Amino acid sequence: MSHLDTLSVHAGREDFSRLGVHAPPIDLSTTYPTPDLGIGTASFDALVAGEASAANPIYARLHNPTVARVESAIAQLEGMDACVAYGSGMAALTAVLLDAKSRGNHVLAVRPLYGTADHLLASGLCGLETEFVAADDIAAKLRPDTALVIIETPANPTLQLVDIAAVVAAAGSVPVLVDSSFAPACIQRPAEHGAAYVLHSATKFLSGHGDVIAGVVSCSEARAKPLRTVRAATGALLHPLAAYLLHRGLATLNLRVERAQANAQTIAERLAAHPAVAAVHFPLLHDGAQAAIYRKQMRGPGALLAFELAQGYAGAAAMLAAVRLCTPAVSLGSVDTLIQHPAGLTHRVVSEAARAQHGIGPGLIRLSVGIEHVEDIWADLARALNAAVSAGTAPRALASA
């Protein structure tokens, strides 16, 4: 199997014939009998050391077969040796950071990033010094103790693109982590451009139905071992029921993304022509160097876009209050359309100065376009845009964020 459409359906199901099942079994055991102490001890040592499996799973914090199946599936989709699944995207990022400390104390990160990831890095909670730099400055900012370079492309929430191969070249021997949550494998495979780690908030497109919290990191087997050790020690293993739902979601991933990004293209073009909208950020609408990066590393624009309202915060608040089909909520990548205000929600923990520097202003709206009929989505947005216009011209507009 080499085509992603086939892999998304069949990957991680290689043992089904042997098991005699057609749907993935869910193993909810928290502990496993160990009548043979020798086998039990050897299995415990192997799992704590980060091995992918052992003769006996011992305890669900160390290993779970249902989780292992979806890890295998995602690794195949990303074109990498291994995948390690966690209880959330932030748990996945934290594990990579904790492992990075074994190599050094300095991290380079390119903004914008997901707001909570930015906050975790800036806070130093993982005991690392994070330096936020432009992608073009990475080579000049490397230090002997630089342990990791972090980028997100397309970036949350502005859809800014970063040239993965260029960053990998600039980083040299320092591993590069790419948060590709906005662009699943059918759109972008960072490993093809040299990324050492590919991180997804699997809550988003990979599961796709708004009912799973999960995070995954795909990488080489050598890099996966310490990540499993961190997971075992911190108790961050993905729950098997969530793993089952995530695996089920993968089967329709490509179909969902194909429909959603077609809708997103139509919506982006209409927003760009609307008088209430000052700017639209969407990969297909990028020009210059950003357009060149898009052509180089993406197979499609994805289903995320952002747009700036001429009416600023007052217009944004009015629009969120006025939508009826679109759901005003954080998160993304679901089958339904989600709309939210980054400066007030997902990126509120980012400093005001950093938000301003990277275009996360009071009038910016992020839209995750779903698979509904595009005319219904647009009708809802058009109504809400009229409300935004009215709010912007009202004598007493809402207070500025």
Alpha carbon distance 111, 113 (integer Å): 5
Measure the CA–CA gap between 224 and 74, rounded to whole angstroms: 13
Phi-psi region of 127 (alpha: psi -120 to 50; beta: other; left: phi over 0): left
Cross-strand bridge partners of residue 395: none
DSSP letter assigned to residue 397 = P
Q: How many other C-beta atoms can be found within 10 angstroms of the C-beta atom of residue 352?
A: 11
Distance CA 10, CA 27 (A): 19
Residue 118: active-site member: no
Helix, strand, coil percentages for the chain (3-state, nearest 5): 45, 15, 45
Query: What is the spatial distance between Cα 300 and Cα 87, in angstroms, rounded to a whole number?
Result: 28
- Other beta carbons within 10 Å of 206: 26
User: Would you call 204 a catalytic residue per the annotation?
Assistant: yes
Which of these, 156, 134, 160, 138, lies nearest to 148 by C-alpha position? 138
Measured distance CA(339)–CA(268) in Å, rounded: 14
State the pairing for strand pair 197-201/215-219.
antiparallel
215, 236 contact by CB (below 8 A): no
Instruction: Give the three-class secondary structure for 222.
Output: helix
Q: Which residue has the tokens 């950071």?
A: 97
- Annotated active-site residue in 59, 86, 114, 244: 114
What is the C-alpha separation between 75 and 247, in angstroms, rounded?
A: 12
Distances (CA, A) of 195 to 174, 362, 373: 10, 33, 36
DSSP H helical ranges for 155-298: 164-171, 221-234, 240-250, 253-272, 288-297
41: Cβ contacts below 8 Å, ≥ 6 apart = none
The residue annotated as part of the active site, out of 27, 118, 163, 179, is 179
Catalytic residue among 13, 111, 189, 204: 204
Separation between Cα atoms, residue 59 and residue 131, nearest integer Å? 38
114 as an active site residue: the answer is yes
Residue matched to tokens 């909670």: 125
* Active centre residues (catalytic): 61, 114, 179, 204
